[in-house]
A and B are shown apart, each in its own frame.
Chain A
Amino acid sequence: MTSALGERGRNPKLDALWARASTDGALPPDDERALAEAAADDARLREDLLDDERVAGALRALGRGTRDAEAFSRRFFERVAAERDSTGFVSRVEGRLAVEAIARERRRHEPHGRWLPRLLVWLTLPALGAAAALLVVDARREPGPENAPDGRGPTVSGEAQRVGIAPMRVFGADARIEWITGTVHLLADARQMPALTGMRIGAEQGLTTIDRDASATVVFADRTRMVLGGDSVIGQVSEAAGKSVFLASGILTADVTPQPADRPMVISTPHGEVTVLGTRFSLRVSDRATRLDVEHGRVRFVRHRDGARIDVGAGQYALSGLAQDFAAITRPQHGTAVLVVGSLRLPPTDALVKARLERLGFGVRVQGGGPLVEDLRSSSVVLISSTVSSLDVNTHYRELPVPIVSWESWLFDDLGMTGQSEDEDFGSFKSNGEVVIHDPTHRLAAGLAGTVGVLSGPGTMSFGIPGPGALWIATVPGLPTRAVAFAYEAGKPMPGLPAAPARRAALHLWDDSGPSMTEAGWALFDALVLWATEKS
């Protein structure tokens, strides 16, 4: 007789078979038969398997529930909406969920060769294809934010208010591809084909940019433009009772020509839906959230999860899909500064730098050293603190086409800003807290001149000896060939690179010198950072 799992004297072979069946969901036929026969003969083993199955199944479901709780509740919400609408809403929702699932798979880094055919299969499913062929924006679609009849903001009524989503059907669109960079595919009629400039996007068709650097510009007859960024997927491009697009993943920037009040443009994502009459905005869709950034005009943003709606104005952004408030937030004036530090617990100098950046109007994102794990190209500036390990950061940021300000002198050579000899081309030294302004007329001097106390007392400073292409801002007193603040314009030659990929700047700050920085020191810091983030 066998014994229960996990007990002394148990049959190890049965344990191993069940361990495999309960994680993989299947066994080779002979193994499955052996386990089945044992379970049929032994009530205790059978009970044990069922007990364990309950736990394993519950864990799988709980795990899935934490990953997709929002998508699950949205699916429920949309099914209720479908029941309340008999105009083909179900097909649209199911189709969208299918694209969403494919986009999720793509974000798991699957190569295109694996996920793209599945998208094409989806595009050809007869039921969904039929639904797509009928996709027309319902005449009951609500007016956009600019179109509120009584001037009190957006109004909604009836089913649309109840479910939070305007019902749609799909027709073709009078849209064509205006410009392409990199590899872009048109998805149509169960085929993938290289997209070409001038190609028309018809009903049921989608577009995907194949890699991170690819992009595609789509233009409608009224000159409304959409730019699809890298690694992005759109589908359901339509222009019947109003333009509509489903952005499954990636980045889309739209410059929308004023639309008729009763035919707003609608862009849906897995997490929400934006409705516009004429504006410029961008959407970024990840597996967890959709971010809307509005440049001009106003955009209505509806969150799928609960139908909540907000108006997002120029200079504002909003997120749908994360566990934070669904609200229009004013964008930081200078964009995002990425602060690279040695410890995310932020030692005092790094904490002061972060606060200073926020006061300057940056949104600050803090991250540790090491290889770049995400695309930083949308950041305004990257600041690399001396608290990082230069071995971790190494040359990872060397080619980054984003302005960099650093005070880790052991990275100056890795960034190409100086030669490579430690203590000669770069290094640190004990200072009396003063620097000499090299060119007081230059704006990077922040209006300072002569010998200036940048620290309130003696302290360590970093230094470098930049190349001839550099702007010299400040030097060490008595050592005019050692710079404690210097910079390079984008494109200028540097000792380690033929051309700076973007503006580069170096500063005297050190691990522990933040608390002793004087107003003059911070003025120099501000000038360098703001200069670095300007368009050169």
Chain B
Amino acid sequence: MNPIASAIPAEPADEARLIAESQRGDAAAFSRLVFVHQGRVRAYIGGSIWRSDVVDDLAQEVFLSAFRSLDTFKGDAPLGVWLLGIARNKLLMHLRTEGRRHNRETGFLDAVLAPWRTRRAEADETDLAQRELEIAALQSCLEGLPAHSAAIVLDHYFKARSIVDISKELGKREGSVRMTLLRVRQALRDCVRQRLDGEVAT
């Protein structure tokens, strides 16, 4: 099995029971759900925010809000999609605040991209299920990466190894490693698109 696949927690078979226990106020049961869903919630937020500490703080806020308002969760949508809805609200609040700050600064990449990030998050309102599918597809596509690509993704994103370290080990230039990662991400985007198109077609 691709090592990346084995590193991603599987969804629990007893999610319904854990949700019911959480709705009765059992923090331990909900923390089990946090364990399982934190990856996708953080991945969703991380898609628009670079700083990992901000991503994690927002993700914690998402789960705290979810736990507090779990009585409103009726199971109409999967829990993962419901959590992404909360994550979107938190993300939007953050991006709008940051956007105001960026508006006072010009000439930097973040300032250019910030409004478009906010628009994307706003557009997610009707597409949360799609976003969840995209993240799931991304996880699935990771499992199908060729060995060399999987190794470099595993090293950089999953083992948090620096570009400098990886380039030394591979005997390549840092720029070459960065470009390889860019290409792998491009391949992952194509893979996600194909998988989602395939699901729509079926």
Which of A's residues lie within 8 Å of B, judged by CB? 5-6, 15-16, 18-25, 27, 32-33, 35-36, 39-40, 46-47, 49-67, 69-70, 72-77, 79-81, 83, 162-164, 305-308
Cβ contact within 8 Å between A58 and B46: yes
Can you show 28 pairs from A to B with CB atoms below 8 A apart?
A: A5-B186, A19-B178, A22-B182, A23-B163, A23-B181, A24-B163, A27-B109, A36-B112, A49-B113, A50-B116, A57-B43, A58-B135, A60-B52, A61-B39, A61-B45, A61-B46, A61-B55, A62-B42, A62-B138, A62-B139, A62-B157, A65-B8, A65-B39, A70-B35, A73-B32, A73-B38, A80-B64, A306-B29
| Distance between B32 CB and nearest chain A CB, rounded to angstroms | 6
Question: B31 — which chain A residues lie within 8 A by C-beta?
Answer: 73-74, 76-77, 80, 305-306
Cβ contact within 8 Å between B120 and A50: yes
| Distance between B71 CB and nearest chain A CB, rounded to angstroms | 15
Question: A65 — which chain B residues lie within 8 A by C-beta?
Answer: 8-9, 38-39, 42-43
| Distance between A477 CB and nearest chain B CB, rounded to angstroms | 51
Q: Mark B48-68, 1 if CB is under 8 A from A, else 0.
A: 111010011001100110010
Q: A39-B113, A46-B112 are in contact. Are A69 and B38 (CB under 8 A)?
A: yes
User: Does B147 make an interface contact (CB < 8 A)?
Assistant: no
User: Does B171 make an interface contact (CB < 8 A)?
Assistant: no
B: interface residue count bin: 35 or more
Q: A6-B186, A58-B44 are in contact. Are A69 and B39 (CB under 8 A)?
A: yes
Q: A50-B116, A59-B157 are in contact. Are A15 and B52 (CB under 8 A)?
A: no
Q: From the candidates B38, B47, B113, B179, name the one contacting A19 in the complex (CB within 8 A).
A: B179
Cβ contact within 8 Å between B47 and A57: yes
Cβ contact within 8 Å between B185 and A55: yes
Cβ contact within 8 Å between A80 and B52: no
Cβ contact within 8 Å between A80 and B182: no
- Taken together as a complex, chains A and B put the C-alpha atoms of A421 and B60 apart, in Å, by 65
Cβ contact within 8 Å between B39 and A66: yes
Q: A65-B39, A67-B158 are in contact. Are A57 and B48 (CB under 8 A)?
A: yes
Question: B43 — which chain A residues lie within 8 A by C-beta?
Answer: 57-59, 61-62, 65
Question: B192 — which chain A residues lie within 8 A by C-beta?
Answer: 55
Cβ contact within 8 Å between A80 and B27: yes
- Taken together as a complex, chains A and B put the C-alpha atoms of A33 and B109 apart, in Å, by 7
Cβ contact within 8 Å between A57 and B49: yes
Which of B's residues lie within 8 Å of A, judged by CB? 7-9, 25-32, 34-35, 38-39, 42-50, 52, 55-56, 59-60, 63-64, 67, 107-109, 111-113, 116-117, 120, 135, 138-139, 142, 153, 156-160, 163, 175, 178-179, 181-183, 185-186, 188-189, 192
Select the residue from A6, A16, A64 with max chain B CB neighbours within 10 A.
Answer: A64
Q: Please list the 3 inter-chain residue pairs (A to B) with the smallest Cβ-Cβ separation, ordered nearest first.
A: A61-B46, A65-B39, A54-B47
Cβ contact within 8 Å between B182 and A52: yes
Q: A6-B182, A33-B108, A72-B59 are in contact. Are A77 and B52 (CB under 8 A)?
A: no
| Distance between A72 CB and nearest chain B CB, rounded to angstroms | 5
Cβ contact within 8 Å between B50 and A57: yes
Cβ contact within 8 Å between B183 and A6: yes
| Distance between B41 CB and nearest chain A CB, rounded to angstroms | 8
Cβ contact within 8 Å between A64 and B64: no
Cβ contact within 8 Å between B112 and A40: yes
Question: A73 — which chain B residues lie within 8 A by C-beta?
Answer: 31-32, 34-35, 38
- Taken together as a complex, chains A and B put the C-alpha atoms of A72 and B50 apart, in Å, by 18
- Taken together as a complex, chains A and B put the C-alpha atoms of A56 and B49 apart, in Å, by 10
Question: A52 — which chain B residues lie within 8 A by C-beta?
Answer: 182, 185-186, 189
Q: From the candidates A16, A33, A64, A76, name the one contacting B107 in the complex (CB within 8 A).
A: A33
Cβ contact within 8 Å between A66 and B8: yes
Question: B29 — which chain A residues lie within 8 A by C-beta?
Answer: 306
Q: From the candidates A21, A27, A58, A162, name the one contacting B47 in the complex (CB within 8 A).
A: A58
Question: A67 — which chain B residues lie within 8 A by C-beta?
Answer: 158-160
| Distance between A288 CB and nearest chain B CB, rounded to angstroms | 13
Select the residue from B31, B35, B135 with max chain A CB neighbours within 10 A.
Answer: B31
Question: B156 — which chain A residues lie within 8 A by C-beta?
Answer: 23, 63
Question: A79 — which chain B residues lie within 8 A by C-beta?
Answer: 60, 64
Question: A19 — which chain B residues lie within 8 A by C-beta?
Answer: 175, 178-179, 181-182
Cβ contact within 8 Å between B8 and A54: no
- Taken together as a complex, chains A and B put the C-alpha atoms of A62 and B40 apart, in Å, by 7
Q: A5-B186, A55-B188 are in contact. Are A76 and B138 (CB under 8 A)?
A: no
Question: A24 — which chain B residues lie within 8 A by C-beta?
Answer: 163
Question: B50 — which chain A residues lie within 8 A by C-beta?
Answer: 25, 57
| Distance between A420 CB and nearest chain B CB, rounded to angstroms | 36
- Closest chain B residue, CB of each to CB of A303: B28
| Distance between A506 CB and nearest chain B CB, rounded to angstroms | 39
- Taken together as a complex, chains A and B put the C-alpha atoms of A292 and B190 apart, in Å, by 48
- Taken together as a complex, chains A and B put the C-alpha atoms of A62 and B55 apart, in Å, by 12
